[in-house]
Amino acid sequence: MRTQVGIIGAGPAGLLLSHMLHLFGIDSVIIESRTREAIEATIRAGVLEQSTVDLMTEIGAGERMEREGFVHHGFELRFAGRSHRINLHDLANGRVITVYAQHEVLKDLIALRLRTGAEIHFEARATGLVDITSDRPKIRFITKNGEARELDCDFIAGCDGGYGISRGSVPESHVRKDYFRVYPFGWFGILAKAPPSADELIYAHHDRGFALISTRSPDVQRMYFQCDPSESVDNWSDDRIWNELQARTVGNGFQLKQGPIFQKGIIPLRSFVCEPMQHGRLFLAGDAAHSVPPTGAKGLNLAAADVHVLARALSSHYATGSTDPLGDYSRTALRRVWRAQHFSWWMTSMLHRFHDGSEFDLRRQLAELDLVTTSRAAATTIAESYVGMPLT
C-alpha cells in the first residue's frame, strides 16, 4: 500500500489535514483505531475560534456549522457573585467565537472526506513507524480484520492525539524535549437536557472552585466544574452536581436552569509541549504534540492551526520540490502553541482554586479579574487571545 501522506488519527487534526491536502491535489490515507460511530459520539470541546470557523468554511465543511452553530460576540467572567462581560466583537476587531461541538465538526469532516473519495481505515491501529529519517517512511498497522499491513509514504503526519504512538517515535535522546505541567485538579463535565441559563458562556471564579456554563443547543447545556482529578463520577448524583454548580454561580439574581443529566465525565488538566514537532519525515500535529488545560478553549483550535501550516508546507514542497517550508513547520507551529499555552495557563491560574492557595492568592485572583473586566487594555488582551490569532 502506498500514498503520499500517511496520516495516523481521524480526529480534527487528521481529518482537516487530509481534506486540505486533497484540495491541494495531494493523496493521503488515514489510519484510525476507533470506529466511525465511536468518533462521532465522543463528547469533547465546543468552542471554535474565528480562524477555525473560517477554515472550515473555506474548505467546504462549514455548511451545517453555519446553520447550527451559535455565534457568540462575548462571554462572561463571573466572580464575587457578579458577571462582567468581555465584549469579544468590540475588543477583538469584529472577531468572535462559534459554539459548535467537536463531534459535530468530526461528523461533517468524515462525511465530506468520504464523499470526496478519501481512504480512511477505521478500526485499524498503527503499531509502529519505520524509516522515518529516510525518504520512504512506513506506517505499520493492524487492520480491522487483524491483518498486519504497511503503508509506504513520502511523509507521515502523526495526528494520533495525546495517547498515540507517533510522539514516541521522535527519539528522546538529543532530539526531543517534553515540557509538562500537571494541575492538581480536573474538570467534571456534564450534558443536561435544560434550557440555557444565559446568552453567552460564563467562566465563574468561586471559593469552592471554578465552574463553566456553556451550551450545545436551545435544549442541551454543557457545564463543567473543577474537581479532584481522582474523583469518580459514581460519587456524584444529579442533585449533588446541581448543588455544586448552583453554589459556584449563585448571586445577583442569577438562575441556573436545571434538567436531567445524561452524560458525565472527568478530564484531567495538563499543559504539555513536545519539541520539535517534526523528526525526519514525521510531522506531529494537534494533541500528539501538545495539550492545554481546556480553560482557554484552545485544544481543537490549535490542532486546526497546526495542520493549516503543515498542509501548506506540504503543498509548497510538492509544487517546488523544496524542503524549506517543511523545515519551518515546527518553528512556525510552536510560536502559536506557546502563545496558547500561556493563555490557557493564565486563564486556569486566574479562575481555579489551588489546594495550596492562600487567602492572599484568592485576593490576588480577584484583583486580576477586576483588572481584566475594567481596564480596556487588559480586556483586549483576553479577548484577542480568546478569539485566537489569525492563521499563518
Does 102 sit near ligand FAD (CB under 6 A)?
Answer: yes
Q: Name the segment binding ligand FAD (CB under 6 A); options: 38-46, 67-75, 333-341, 358-366.
A: 38-46
Catalytic hit among 19, 22, 72, 308: 72
The one among 137, 186, 209, 286 contacting ligand FAD by CB under 6 A: 286
DSSP secondary structure code for residue 2 in this structure = B
Total number of residues that touch ligand FAD (CB under 6 A) = 32
- Our answer to whether residue 294 is catalytic in this structure is yes
* Helical segments of the chain, H only: 12-23, 36-41, 50-58, 63-68, 88-91, 102-115, 238-249, 299-320, 324-327, 329-351, 359-374, 376-387
Q: Whole-number minimum distance, CB 347 to ligand DHB, in Å? A: 8
Are 310 and 391 contacting, i.e. CB atoms less than 8 angstroms apart?
Answer: no
**CB neighbours (10 Å) of residue 72?**
18
- Going by C-alpha positions, the residue among 205, 224, 226 that lies closest to residue 216 is 224
Query: Least distance in Å: CB of 289 to ligand FAD?
Result: 8
SS3 content of the chain, % helix, strand, coil (to 5): 40, 30, 35
Measured distance CA(2)–CA(153) in Å, rounded: 6
Among 12, 19, 121, 203, which one carries the catalytic annotation?
203
Task: For the chain, report the end-to-end CA distance as a whole number of angstroms.
Answer: 33
Question: Applying CB under 6 A, does 387 fall inside the site for ligand DHB?
Answer: no
**And the C-alpha cell for 230?**
481522582
Name beta bridge partners: 267.
187
Q: Considering only CA atoms, give the Rg of the chain.
A: 21
Whether residue 124 contacts residue 165, with contact meaning beta carbons closer than 8 Å, is answered with: no
Smallest separation (angstroms) from ligand FAD to the CB of 333: 12
Cβ closest to ligand DHB, residue 46 vs residue 62: 46
**Closest separation between CB of residue 298 and ligand DHB, Å?**
8
210 contacts 204 by C-beta, under 8 angstroms:
yes
Q: How far apart are CA 305 and CA 142, in angstroms?
A: 30
Our finding on whether 294 is near ligand DHB (CB under 6 A) is: yes
Q: Which of 121, 205, 279, 298 is catalytic?
A: 298
- Residue 214 binds ligand DHB, judged by CB under 6 A: yes
One character per residue 243-272, x = contact with ligand FAD (rule: CB under 6 A): ------------------------x-----
Q: Measure the CA–CA gap between 383 and 88, rounded to whole angstroms.
A: 5
Q: Is 298 in the site for ligand FAD (CB under 6 A)?
A: yes
DSSP for residue 289? T
Residues present in the chain in total: 392
**Which residue of 192, 213, 297, 379 would you call a contact of ligand DHB, by CB under 6 A?**
297
Is 31 a residue that touches ligand FAD (CB under 6 A)?
yes
Closest CB to ligand FAD among residues 280, 294: 294
Is position 183 annotated as part of the catalytic site?
Answer: no
**Could you tell me if 226 and 210 are in contact, meaning their C-beta atoms sit under 8 angstroms apart?**
yes
| Residue closer to ligand FAD, measured from CB, 76 or 287 | 287
Residue with Cβ nearer ligand DHB (51 or 295): 295
Give, as ranges, the residues between 344 and 373 that touch ligand FAD (CB under 6 A): none
Instruction: Give catalytic status of residue 386 as yes or no.
Output: yes
Residues 34-93 contacting ligand DHB, CB under 6 A: 45-47
Q: Are 290 and 274 in contact (CB under 8 A)?
A: yes
Choose, from 137, 293, 294, 325, the residue flagged as catalytic: 294
Site for ligand FAD in 130-159 (CB under 6 A): 159
Stretch that binds ligand DHB, among 66-74, 118-126, 237-245, 289-297 (CB under 6 A): 289-297
Applying CB under 6 A, the residues found at the interface with ligand FAD are 8-14, 31-34, 39, 44-45, 102, 125-126, 159-161, 164-165, 267, 286-288, 294, 297-300, 303
Applying CB under 6 A, the residues found at the interface with ligand DHB are 45-47, 201, 212, 214, 222, 294-295, 297
